[in-house]
Structure 1
Amino acid sequence: MKAEILEIRFIHEGWSRFGIARVRLANGAVVEREIEDHGNAVGILPYDPVRKVAALVRELRVPPLFAAGEQVQLEAPAGLIDDGSPEQNARREVLEEVGLRLTDLEFVGATYSCAGVTTEKLHLYLGSYGQADRIEDGGGAAGEHENIRVVEMPLAELAARADEAAITDLKTLTLVLALRARHPELFRA
């Protein structure tokens, strides 16, 4: 016997939908599970291989503020997938958030961000850029009130933060570790 969803009852529908699913497990037991659904997303770590820096954002995230009192979080640019491919959305998000035009993207993987709760599948990319690729200021899309601050950080400092467990955003940690594994030469002095 395979597990099957018997019913989903949505209790809130807004930017996200929150629901309760009744599920018959493979052993026949019927249980309830919560679901958060807001679509799929992209996360991108833009890096300059010549200057050995990465472009990140600092932005208020209310759940960490609620859970731990953290005012802002340092993270890789990211956003929901709207129309178009994940790659097109990745380029749009980087332009909106950090003002960079990316041409080449290196796919890292697509993974569920928290499979126990959300349906979100996060498509992760690395993207190299140069100084000529900064064509806007960044800061986020007009009207979204993101209040994003762009931070260029040396890759060595970013790696040290990863080693010290000081990166609290999972997509950013994943992308930093992927960049270090795939391009170790960028982290040498």
Structure 2
Amino acid sequence: MSKLNRVNVIETKTLSNDWYILNKTTFDYLRNDGSWQRQSRETYDRGNGATILLYSLSTQSVILIKQFRYPTFVNGNEDGMLIETPAGLLEQKSPEDAIREEVAEETGFAIEQPVKVLEAYMSPGSVTEKLHFFIASYESTARVSCGGGNVEEGEDIEVFELSIAEALEQIDSGLIKDAKTIMLLQYAALRLFN
């Protein structure tokens, strides 16, 4: 049986169309035992995105950013600051073009050939976003501006370099809590810096 035949949408209501789109959908789902079950889910649609880890094998280092994230602040992250890999929404661009623009805006580094390493749904229970994960090597000469993000979008980004060993220690200590960043740092530890 086609997977498309397992879902019969009954009704979709838009609950919010402000920052992004929040829909509530009622649907019938064909269970594995052959019975139909009525379900209702809210989905938050913010579009797909991309993230990247800049790394240097010669210096055994990575470039990360730090910025204020209000949702983490209201959920116990004391100052709301989060250490992350650069990331952004695709906004009708290819993942490669979007991440090149985003990394330049946030870090000041110009990159030519980002290498895609994986795709992942980050919160599939409620968020529709699929994230494209990239890596790219960097040299200090590739930094064409100071970065810092887009002020009009409320970004106030700190850019910093640290060793891969320090970054992995910061995961262990709980200083780095961002899922996409943890995934890319662990990928780097397994595939790049071994």
TM-score tier, shorter chain, comes to over 0.9
| Equivalences, count | 185
CA distance in 1, matches of 2:10, 2:117: 35
* 1:45 equivalenced with 2:49 (yes/no): no
> Please, which of 133, 137, 140 is the counterpart of residue 128 of structure 1?
137
Q: How far apart are residue 69 of structure 1 and its match?
A: 3.6
Amino acid at match of 2:138: Y
CA distance in 2, matches of 1:23, 1:164: 43
> Please, which of 8, 12, 24 is the counterpart of residue 12 of structure 2?
8
Contact preservation (8 Å) 1:109, 1:123: yes
CA distance in 2, matches of 1:83, 1:182: 31
Alignment of 1:67-78 (within 5 A): 67-71=75-79, 72-78=81-87
* 1:61 equivalenced with 2:65 (yes/no): no
- For normalisation by structure 2, the TM-score amounts to 0.90
* 1:104 equivalenced with 2:113 (yes/no): yes
Contact preservation (8 Å) 1:50, 1:130: no
Q: What's the CA shift string for 1:93-142, capped at 9, x where partnerless? A: 10000000112222121111101010100000111110110001000024
Amino acid at match of 2:153: E
Contact preservation (8 Å) 2:108, 2:144: yes
| Structure 2 equivalent of residue 182 of structure 1 | 191
> Counterpart of 2:6 in 1: which secondary structure?
coil
Contact preservation (8 Å) 2:171, 2:177: no
CA distance in 2, matches of 1:68, 1:40: 26
Amino acid at match of 2:49: A
> Please, which of 31, 43, 50 is the counterpart of residue 35 of structure 1?
43
Unaligned runs of 5+ in 1: none
| Structure 1 equivalent of residue 170 of structure 2 | 161
CA distance in 2, matches of 1:85, 1:177: 25
* 1:81 equivalenced with 2:90 (yes/no): yes
CA distance in 2, matches of 1:69, 1:125: 27
Superposition CA RMSD, Å:
1.4
Q: How far apart are residue 55 of structure 1 and its match?
A: 1.1
> Please, which of 5, 11, 25 is the counterpart of residue 21 of structure 1?
25
Q: What's the CA shift string for 1:45-97, capped at 9, x where partnerless? A: 11122222211111110111001143200000000002321011111110000
Q: Which range is displaced more, 164-173 or 93-102?
A: 164-173
Amino acid at match of 1:67: N
